[in-house]
Every structure is written in C-alpha cells, then in structure tokens.
C-alpha cells in the first residue's frame, strides 16, 4: 500500500507550518506531503526514510514490486524506491528533484532548493531555513547557475 498527500493544504483550510506556502505553490508548504509505504513481510515496520522522494517514484516502484521491469525505451522520471526502503541502498535516489506548475519552476539538490517565481530567483537552504524565509541566491551565485542549467535541461526534455 502506498499513500501520499496531494500537494499541500489550501491556504484557507490548512496550516502547513513550519513550511511556507500552500497548494499551487512550489514552496515546501505546497509540495512537501506525507508519503507512506506499507508492505508486510517485505518492508520493516516503522522505518523512516529521510531522503526526499517524489510522487513520480510510485510508477517505477509499483512496477518492480509487481515483478515487472521499468520501461527503458522512453524517459521515466521516477525511480524504484524499493532498494532504498529496504536498506539495500543508502543515500538519495535522486540527484535532483524537479517541479513545474504554471509560472513556477523549482529544483531541489540535497539541502538546497532553487525556485523561479514571479521573475524572481530564490535559493533556500532547507535544513537551515525550512520555512524558506531567507533568499540566499546572492550568496551562492555558482549554485544558482548550476541549478538553473539543470532545471533548463530537465525542462527541455533532456533529463533522466
């Protein structure tokens, strides 16, 4: 069984604290949601996996869990999470996570997230600033440029 939330609560009906934002935004309050996996006798109970994942991972994970093979003849954004959930692999299943919604673009790499919002470039350290209050883009121009290049490559369809 896989359960995941639907992109943050609406600002009228939910409190997404300590995160900034709400549904239809790419701040953490709009994209960070619960994600639970239960598979008795296959996955350890009450184990917490701390690395960020994305709903796109459900596709590949479900295919492999059912005994199938993830298609290799086309780009697939999600990855099979089972090696990470079982502890066979450590670390993060993704180098980068990407989002696009209306005029919003965002990429997360490790603890950093770069957002493009209303023609503004924002960079946040999500560990030091989970509420995305302090824009550190001016302090880290090389990281901003690197994340921008990665985001543009993904957006143009040249991603894996």
Give me 44's structure tokens.
């350890």
Instruction: Count Cβ neighbours within 10 Å for each residue of 54-88 and write b for 16 or more, e otherwise.
Output: bbebbbbbbbbbeeeeeeeeeebbbbbbbebbeee
- For the chain, the structural domain boundaries read 2-155
pTM of the shown model = 0.88
Q: Give the model's pLDDT for residue 96.
A: 95
Query: Does the structural domain 2-155 have CATH classification 3.40.33.10?
Result: no
Partners of 139 in the beta sheet? none
Q: Give the model's pLDDT for residue 141.
A: 97
Q: Give the model's pLDDT for residue 160.
A: 46
Q: Give the model's pLDDT for residue 158.
A: 54
Query: β-strand 112-117 against 120-125: which pairing, if any?
Result: antiparallel
**pLDDT per 10-residue tile (average), the chain, 160 residues:** 83 86 88 89 90 94 95 89 94 93 91 91 97 97 96 75
**DSSP for the chain?**
-EEE--SS--TTT---TTS---TTS-SHHHH---EEE--TTTS-TT----S---TTHHHHHHHHHTT----SSS-------HHHHTTSS-S-S-S-EEEEETTEEEEEETTEEEEEETTEEEEEETTT-TT--S--GGG-HHHHHHHHHHHHHHHTT---
């Amino acid at each position: 069984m896989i359960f995941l939330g639907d992109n943050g609560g609406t600002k009228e009906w939910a409190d997404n604290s300590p995160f900034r934002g709400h549904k239809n935004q790419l701040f953490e309050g709009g994209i960070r949601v619960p994600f639970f996996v239960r598979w008795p006798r296959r996955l350890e109970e009450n184990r917490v996996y701390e690395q960020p994942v994305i709903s796109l991972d459900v596709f590949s994970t479900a295919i492999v869990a059912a005994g199938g093979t993830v298609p290799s003849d086309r780009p697939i954004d999600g990855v099979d999470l089972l090696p990470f959930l079982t502890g066979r692999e450590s670390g993060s299943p993704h180098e980068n996570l990407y989002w696009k919604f209306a005029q919003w673009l965002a990429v997360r790499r490790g603890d950093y997230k770069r957002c493009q919002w209303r023609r503004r470039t924002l960079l946040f350290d999500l560990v030091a600033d989970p509420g995305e209050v302090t824009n550190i883009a001016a302090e880290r121009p090389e990281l901003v440029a690197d994340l921008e290049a990665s985001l543009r490559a993904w957006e143009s369809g040249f991603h894996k």
